Amino acid sequence: MYTLILRCRDAVKKGSVSHRFRKWVTAEVLPQIRKTGSYQRKTTVDDRTGLRDAVNMLVSKRGLIYSEAYQMVYQRFNVQSIEDLSKEQLPMAVEYVHKICLEGELIIQDPKPTNAYPMSEDELQDLAWCWFALERCTETLRLIYQPLQLLGSSFAPTDIVKMWNIAILFNKPIKS
């Protein structure tokens, strides 16, 4: 059937349907099949409206030249023109351009450092209060240690030393 259409008299008359079909097959379909082994229909102008709108926004917000804005898309998706983007790539391209508009630069998602000891705000506040209480206890014990020792209290030598050891442990600098 294609042979008949490509060789018919109308196929050589410019402007006829069979001529446009012949041009499309010989200029687009066959070269792509030779290059890639299959033919994928290119996107239409209507399909690319969202991408054009996003590029227009990028140009107006960032003061770029259109060729620079489109070059960023070409480079990101490894294509020669926006017509070469597949229908599946178009939403990703629109999202990419919008991210550039919002952030002003190429966005590469860096892994966020994870907190080794996640704590809620309440838990952190409780820890701060415990630390403060320990500091107060340590200061109080330091003040009463001498008098307890003079009185010969059995509490002085053992328990106060334990408390000081705990206080020393808490006051050590945290090693990363």
Question: What is the tens place of the pLDDT at every residue in 35-48?
Answer: 777 776 677 778 88
CB contact set of 56 (below 8 Å; sequence gap of 6+): none
* pTM for this model (two decimals): 0.42
Q: What is the pLDDT of residues 37-88, one digit of tens each?
A: 777 667 777 888 888 899 998 888 888 888 888 898 889 888 888 888 888 8
- Nearest Cα to 156, choosing from 143, 174, 170? 143
Question: Domain total for the chain?
Answer: 3
Residues 98 and 54 in one domain: yes
Q: What is the widest separation between alpha-carbon atoms in the chain? A: 124
Q: Minimal CA–CA distance to 42: which of 87, 89, 93, 77?
A: 87
Domain around 149: 124-171
> Side chain identity at 120, as an amino acid letter?
S
Domain membership flag for residue 79 = yes
Cβ atoms of 97 and 141 closer than 8 Å? no
- Based on the domain organization, do 66 and 87 belong to the same domain? yes
For 144, other C-beta atoms within 10 Å of its C-beta total 14
